[in-house]
Amino acid sequence: MYMNEQLFRNPVISEPDAPSRRHVRRRKLMRTAGLLAAVLIILVFSLCASLLGGDQDVLAASNGGAPAKRTVEIVKGDTLWGIANAHVRKGRNVREYMDELKKLNRLDSSVLHEGQVLQLP
């Protein structure tokens, strides 16, 4: 029997470009591991960012210092009502907040002057 006849009877299909099943599984595993590592890095980074850039009032209170006071500088056209309305917490009465602003800043009236700095409660 000639060599060519043997090849025709027992064909051996060899495709060097086709990856084996083991190679495909390994590639999927490596891709999954890479995605998991990326998610873990993002999670660690966001946790560090939240710890380092957290609320400054909480940080000041934990260090024994007073929380940072919020202030507003009056510019032309500002009114006490407008400032109170802009800074009042949701659900709170604006008039009560305005009265608290007046007491905190020792204001006798609602008249404001340009350049004046008010502390916010």
- 104 and 119 Cβ atoms separated by less than 8 Å: yes
Note the pTM of the prediction, 2 decimals.
Answer: 0.43
* Rounded CA separation 87/81 (Å): 10
* CATH class of the domain comprising 69-119: alpha beta
pLDDT digits over 4-32, tens only? Answer: 666 566 555 555 566 678 888 888 899 99
Output the pLDDT for position 67: 58
Q: Any idea where the domains of the chain sit in the sequence?
A: 18-67, 69-119
Spatial CA neighbour of 100 closest among 89, 115, 68: 89
Tokens of 65: 């210092």
23: buried, middle or exposed (CB in 10 Å: 19+, 13-18, 0-12)? exposed
pLDDT digits over 77-87, tens only? Answer: 999 999 999 99
pLDDT digits over 25-84, tens only? Answer: 888 899 999 999 999 999 988 887 777 765 555 555 555 555 557 888 999 999 999 999
